[in-house]
Amino acid sequence: MPLKVTQDENLNLNLTPMIDVVFLLVIFFMVATKFSESERNIELELPQVAAAGDAAAPAKPRNITVTADGATLLDGVEVTLGKLTSTLAEAVRTTSDVQVVINGDARTPFQAVAAALAACREARVEDLGITVELAAKAGGRLR
């Protein structure tokens, strides 16, 4: 069965949706320009600080290391648990954002790491992390 192809001589392209989109874009850019002009015209006196580095510098984390024999080191210096708690509590009192990272040896008894965690909790340290190492996978199982 042959198909009849007829050409419509009155082919019209509907421009209404395109005109709507153009008007919406014009309105958007007009409004956006008004906002940016009003923000630029606001007279504002910014507060001043003594040194820019003091306000913006992130806090350096304190490192607690628990060795294989159970010794506790704070930033490389051996301390007792009581001294660890008092030092961290003093740091929390003087600075609000004390960060602590605990590095525990895999061969140490967990009790030593738990004691360091308890000292941090007693000193009210809120930003606390523990370092671990990813184990190598062998045949789908961790060694």
Domain ranges of the chain: 14-42, 58-132
Residues forming a β-bridge with 72: 66, 79
Q: Does domain 58-132 have CATH number 3.30.420.270?
A: yes
Instruction: Indicate the pLDDT class of residue 43, thresholds 50, 70 and 90.
Output: low
**Residue 138 to residue 143: CA distance in whole angstroms:** 7
Which ranges in 14-109 belong to alpha helices (H)?
16-40, 52-56, 81-94
**Does the pLDDT value for residue 54 go beyond 50?**
no
**Does the pLDDT value for residue 116 go beyond 70?**
yes
To 10 degrees, what angle do helices 81-94 and 110-122 make?
30
**Residue 27 to residue 12: CA distance in whole angstroms:** 28
pLDDT recorded at residue 97: 82
Instruction: Indicate the pLDDT class of residue 18, thresholds 50, 70 and 90.
Output: very high
pLDDT tens track for 70-112: 888 888 888 888 998 999 888 888 887 888 888 888 888 888 8
Structure-model confidence comparison of residues 103 and 19, the more confident one: 19
Instruction: Indicate the pLDDT class of residue 135, thresholds 50, 70 and 90.
Output: low
pLDDT recorded at residue 16: 92
Prediction pTM value: 0.53
Cβ(75)–Cβ(91) under 8 Å?
no
Which of these, 129, 133, 112, 119, lies nearest to 59 by C-alpha position?
129
Q: What is the mean pLDDT of the chain?
A: 78
Percent of the chain with pLDDT strictly greater than 70: 70
